[in-house]
Amino acid sequence: MEVKVNKKVKSATDEELQSLSKEELITKIRQLEAHNVQLKSIVQKSLKSHEEATHGKATKKHRPFDFSKCFKRHILLRLYYLGWDYQGFAAQEDSIETIEHHLFAALKKVCLIEGRETSNYNRCGRTDKGVSAFCQVISLDVRSKFSPEEQLEESNLEGELDYCSMLNRVLPVDIRCIAWMPMVNPAYSARFDCRSRTYRYFFPQGDLNVPLMEEGARYLVGVHDFRNFCKMDVGNGVVNFVRSIDAISIQMCQEDYLDNESYNMLCVELTGKAFLWHQVRCIMAVLLLVGQGKEEPSVVKELLDVEKNPCKPQYSMAIDVPLNLYKCQFNEKSIQPAGEEQQESDGGSDLRNWIFKHENVVRTICELQGLWMKQNVKSTMIRDMLHELERVGSWRMSGQATQLTEGVKSKEYRPLLQRQQCESLENRIEHYAKKRRIEVSTKSNDSNADGSDEPMQQSVADDGTNNDGYVDHGVTGIEN
């Protein structure tokens, strides 16, 4: 089956408006009004911040940077960010609090690129609202001190612009560039040439039965239809939910210093080429139910059997804060064809070593230590308060796991397979086809070529909502 997404133009013609029903017009007006309120709020905040930053200072006029006199080179850029206070990685029309917004503002401010459209930009994956990354990688063309013929010479790599330090001087403290890699092939893509992505989800042990969680997790390894473990974003053209999880494990991250194993920190680590929207958080939600003894490990196997269970039971996802894009692995040779100007390679790898600058790494470690210190002081204070309260009555409560899922907790638990179910994939396709959001043909439809937790279309949805799974007009939900 092949699905084509119909992108609506920004302004409808008179004939198109007249063809809409009364209900459709009311819906459209309400969406435009809500979007207008959001944009006014963003503009007001932006203007206020700008006024505060420039108050009392004379505005300096800078001569435009002449990029026509500069050389360019294609690189991979490796960065980390703490996404807890951001609306996700991908830029959005109605929010400036995204990682990409700050990243491109920094790239332009230090004159490494002229604009996003001309930078040959690709990202390894898109993380959603609240999600962090230890190893996000982007590919793009940036300004260089050297001509293309000289750029791969060892001495010139040492003398190249210090890309990471330049960007880190103007980026927020919770977004940092760690290293860059010179590329041989100018078509090499951080998105299409990434061969695997590893996510980690951190959580306290609490009273969870970890061996049962491991038993349930083993069913996930291999190629499966994960429609019951994700948000089905049919409106953006995703109708194929077959993905492969290459490896999954539960690891110890930190053992408690007060001899109470319920405060031990663990993580679930998953590796695969591509992940669906909210897939990791849905998987975690089910594994947590298994760990609490509310579900048998075999429920994972049951939910993967989409012929027997074609409709997803309604359940709350795991929260976003513990999720992290932990590691990315890349192809030695790009699957993208090199341009005509690219010389034939010697058959070796397109990849080179990551270039770390000592001063930049030391500065970044110090900044991270500062962030760790502040967070750990808070954590230690809270942990000490818990220890004192538990000692008063010799109470040993372990309710951390219940705080890891969204939504209202019901007093009486209902098993997953006995719950009310979401709409089937077929019904969703029919719904969006009737709304003229998608066009369906009988041709086969390939899955996403990248591995991010995102729909194939990465633009803002036609109704003005964010693709972060939180403002979806009644649909509860990113991961990504």
Residues that are catalytic: 128
Angle CA 300–301–305, to nearest 5: 115
Task: Give burial (CB, 10 Å; 0-12/13-18/19+) of 166.
Answer: buried
**Per-residue DSSP letters for 136-198?**
EEEEEEEEESS-TTTTTSHHHHHHS--HHHHHHTTS-TTEEEEEEEE-SSTT--TTTTEEEEE
Task: Give burial (CB, 10 Å; 0-12/13-18/19+) of 458.
Answer: middle
Residue 93 CA to residue 101 CA, distance in Å, equals 10
CB 162 within 8 A of CB 86: no
Which residues, including other chains, have CB under 8 Å from residue 383's CB and lie 6 or more apart? 258, 263
Q: 């962090």: which residue's tokens? A: 132
Using DSSP's 3-state secondary structure scheme, residue 221 falls into: coil
Please give the single-letter amino acid code of residue 13.
T
Per DSSP, 21 falls in state: -
Residue 317 CA to residue 229 CA, distance in Å, equals 9
Per DSSP, 61 falls in state: P
Nearest to 225 by CA among 312, 153, 296: 312
Per DSSP, 343 falls in state: P
Task: Tokens for 373, please give them.
Answer: 């210190």
Q: 């220890």: which residue's tokens? A: 387
Identify the sign of the CA torsion 81, 349, 183, 92: negative
Which residues, including other chains, have CB under 8 Å from residue 394's CB and lie 6 or more apart? none
Angle CA 211–217–220, to nearest 5: 160
Nearest to 339 by CA among 148, 173, 188: 188
